[in-house]
A and B are shown apart, each in its own frame.
Chain A
Amino acid sequence: MKRTWRKTPPQWAMADAAAYYAAMAAKGWILEKVGIHWDRYRRAEPQQLQFWVELSLDGGAELPEEQIQLYDESGWTLMAQKGQMYVFAAQLSAQTPEPYAVDDPQQDRMLRCVQRNYRNGIISIVVMLLLAGAWVVTVHRASLPKLLMGCWLLIPWLLWILCSVWDTVYGFGALTRMRAKLKRGERPEAKRRLGYRLPLRVMSVLAALCLLIGGAAWISAWRGREPLPAQSNGDYLIVSQLSGQRRDEKSVYAGMFEVNYVEQAGAFPFYRAYQTCEGTKEGEKERVIFQDVYILRWHGLAGAMADSLRNNGMFAKAEAYVPVEIDGLDQAWYVPGGMEYVAAAGNRLVYGTVTGTRPDDAFLLTLLRETAKLWNP
């Protein structure tokens, strides 16, 4: 059987949803299932049906059997149900009574109930935004590169949250207007007009664009793991090229984990990144040097990224890093008696870690100086 899915109309637009279901039925698509975000329709002969969306009011409990029975006996068949929402349909006929009279206080109770749901929704969203804000601040403090890496997912997620906020706030306003209409003795109907739809469409398109562009950029930047070349590309250091060093393909560490590779990734539009792992030998000293090199699109990011890298160092605390002045580097730090260094120059940034034979400070300073030379040929 042929089926199709359409976006579920918001709960506040009950009359609008009913009209939409009727229009679909007239086109030969009969509502089969109501979902949270998507409704399912099955193919059938086009039918002239009228729909009614009913909500159970008693604390989210199911609609009483007796009420469903009454609907059924009056010609209204239950078509679909999801949570509090019940959708009934009847043949378009003058004999079928409308479920409610306009002056029915039950209508106001129903609107008040939906309004309460929306109010709770607004509270939930505010709490969620506060939590998300706290999370972003925490992540920013912990690891800006990771936050930027995830931004092409984060932005669509934020836009999706914004859509929910817009829908909820608009819904709350619409329900307030509908209750006012009811008090004036008018039908409590509200339509999803352009003013409601346009911001949602714009945000959806933006989110989709972010996903597409960000995803494509990430995929195009991703190179996977490749053997570390003998020559540097000008962004990362090949330590085995330095005086007294040679490439170590069979160090004890090689048995523990893979060495001598480079990975390329990117966080569009913020940076491109290389991660290298190189095994070296200097006499009897066996080392593995890791470099995370970021090529930033904006120089302004360098300071915050350098802070974040030191705060998020794998071994040393941020306080352990000591600044050092090196020609050709805007900023440089290393951990005396430790294993890490951070350097920034122009739009380039490196976080390096040396494991294996414990490096002396001179080796870390050599790596910083050689990095400066590499970046300032």
Chain B
Amino acid sequence: MTAPMTEAMYYVLLALVRPAHGYAMMQQIRRLSRQRVIIGPGTLYGILSRMRADGWISMEEDDGRRKTYAITQQGREALLAEYRRLQSQLADGAFLMEEDENHETDMA
């Protein structure tokens, strides 16, 4: 079982479902998270380096100026595992929403 990902790692993998270079990744993450997650260049570079070393992403293209990355099969599995983990966390906390709704009804 892999360790939980940071939010930034999760979104980088999510953004790389379609190959992208660094800046495009940053923009994609903003769009995907509806401007909630903004990843800085330092954080992004660190994540890309670590993920490449771990085999989660690979370089698709290097035109000398920009490098384009894509998620690997291993990365996709890690992303799916993280997605499932988050989903089950959400499911575990679903009763909170029901309690909240009941509370609001009582108040009304």
Contacts and interface: CB of A to CB of B under 8 A. Distances in A.
* Most chain A CB inside 10 Å of its own CB: which residue of B22, B41, B45, B66: B41
A58 to B, nearest CB: 10
Nearest to B48: A66
Contacts, number: 59
A97 interface: yes
A70 B12 CA distance: 14
Interface stretch (A101-109, A114-122, A221-229, A250-258): A101-109
Contacts of B41: 67, 70-71, 73-74, 76, 97, 99
A61 to B, nearest CB: 13
A39 interface: no
Interface in A69-101: 69-71, 73-74, 76, 97-101
B65 A74 contact: no
A66 B46 CA distance: 11
A173 to B, nearest CB: 25
Contacts of B39: 97, 101
B55 to A, nearest CB: 18
A64 interface: yes
Interface residues on B, range: 10 to 19
A101 B40 contact: yes
B65 A69 contact: yes
A101 B65 CA distance: 25
B43 A101 contact: yes
A105 B46 contact: yes
A104 B5 CA distance: 12
Given A67-B45, A99-B40, A73 B8 contact: no
B6 A66 contact: no
Given A66-B22, A71-B42, A74-B40, 8 more contacts: A66-B67, A67-B42, A70-B22, A71-B41, A73-B26, A73-B41, A74-B23, A97-B26
Interface of B: 6, 8, 22-23, 26, 38-46, 65-67
Interface of A: 52, 54, 64, 66-67, 69-71, 73-74, 76, 97-101, 103-106, 109
